Amino acid sequence: MNNFIFENATKTVFGEGCVREYLSCFAGHYKETVMLAYGGGSIKKNGIYDEVVESLEKAGKNVIEFAGIMPNPSYSKVQDGARLARENEVDWILGVGGGSVMDCCKAISLAAVYDGDIWTDFWARLGVISFEPLPVGVIATTAGTGSEMSGRAVITNEEEKIKTGRDYPKCNPRFALIDPAYTYTVPEKQMISGGFGILSHVMEIYFSPPDENNVSDDIAEALMRGVIRDLRTSIKNAKDYTARSNLMWESAMAENRIIKIGKRLDLQCRNMEHQLGVYTDFSHGERLAALHPVYYRHIYKDAVRKFKRFAVNVWNISADGKPDEKTARAGVEALADFIKEIGLPGTLQKLGVSRRLDLKRIADSCQISSGGYRQMTHGEIYEIFKECM
């Protein structure tokens, strides 16, 4: 394995009832004024909001609400949150929701205490955080991004038409509460999209050097098999606690840096999805599902042994008597078939992307990943986008 440094500072409590049991205790470690951040208000309909506020009040906290965090949180929304935090002298932030809420809270934790422009200094380029952000705690209500156990935050700069993510250990939540029962009320379409997002996050780590036997790839294969199994089960029974709890932990494991140890990471598909996300309103998982099979058809010949291993160990495809390249391609097609099986659109056109969308402009704005088996050009990314239609 390659050399590595591992760090994850998030204390995680997992299980049904964990918010009711532990939130007031965690809140007691922080000062009086907390910003309670959430999205469109679903937590007020499903009872999560009441449970959270009751625990915060029990701990004697002054609650400042910051609502309306949208999917693909914008830099302007981050700035709104930072202003609210400064005006109310907020001591810490509690994000309740999915990845967008958690990502926005991490960025706010920096912007609220930083005198400069965090986009310029920390998102447009990789920066060094030499100060302490506001403490952040999170309560995960969906499975998908793994943001609850990482310092990664994806932000969209609407003016510059750029969407990018950075992972700063100092932005890791101080604590994360993960109650799988909170995901029961998530609409099926959102659950499936989030589940495929987990699979994507594992694949982008797995399909990158090194390829010698290593622990990270072994764990990644187990996670991919688990996501496939647990998505199928959750579609059949939305309240299967075992499947839902597995998806929540698989989501966290995909992004808590454990399987990234010693790996380079091929973030090209994510980079392409990010830029499509600037111009379209579809979910993260839906866009990734349209991109992944086409992207892998472009690169599988550059890593035949790894794609063959994916086919055999993840999809249980027999390699007996077949050329390695044929087995490798079969793994990519098994992925495409699974996308259809779980009901994701699978193409940009089926998602509703207009053929008038300037795909060339979007392709030219994509960051180029250096961690994959072959480095893309903007021209090839444009070809992939056209094939994904």
The mean per-residue pLDDT over the stretch 76-94 comes to 97
The mean per-residue pLDDT over the stretch 327-346 comes to 96
Residue 314 pLDDT class (50, 70, 90 cuts): very high
- Give the span between the Cα atoms of 27 and 266, in whole angstroms: 38
**Of the candidates 215, 229, 201, 190, the residue with the CA atom closest to the CA atom of residue 39:** 190
Residues in the chain: 389
Please report the beta strands in 69-195, taking only residues with DSSP state E, as ranges in sequence order: 92-97, 136-140, 152-157, 162-167, 175-178
Helix runs in the chain, H state only: 18-27, 42-45, 48-58, 75-87, 99-111, 118, 188-206, 215-236, 241-255, 268-279, 284-299, 304-313, 324-341, 348-351, 359-364, 378-388
Strands 162-167 and 11-14: unpaired
Tokens standing for 317? Answer: 């495809």
Which region holds residue 89: left if phi is over 0, alpha if psi is between -120 and 50, else beta? left
The yes or no reply on domain 11-182 and CATH 3.40.50.1970 is yes
Q: Which CATH architecture has domain 188-388?
A: Up-down Bundle (1.20)
Cα angle for residues 356, 359, 360 (degrees, 5° grid)? 120
pLDDT at 127 over 80: yes
Say what the pLDDT of residue 21 is: 94
pLDDT single digits (tens) 18-73: 999 999 999 999 999 999 999 988 899 889 999 999 999 999 999 999 999 998 89
DSSP 300: G
Strands 62-66 and 33-37: parallel
Phi, psi of 157, rounded to the nearest 5 degrees = -90, 100
Domain chopping of the chain, boundaries: 11-182, 188-388
Say what the pLDDT of residue 7 is: 81
pLDDT single digits (tens) 268-309: 999 999 998 888 777 788 999 999 999 999 999 999 999 999
Q: How many CB atoms lie within 10 A of CB 248?
A: 27
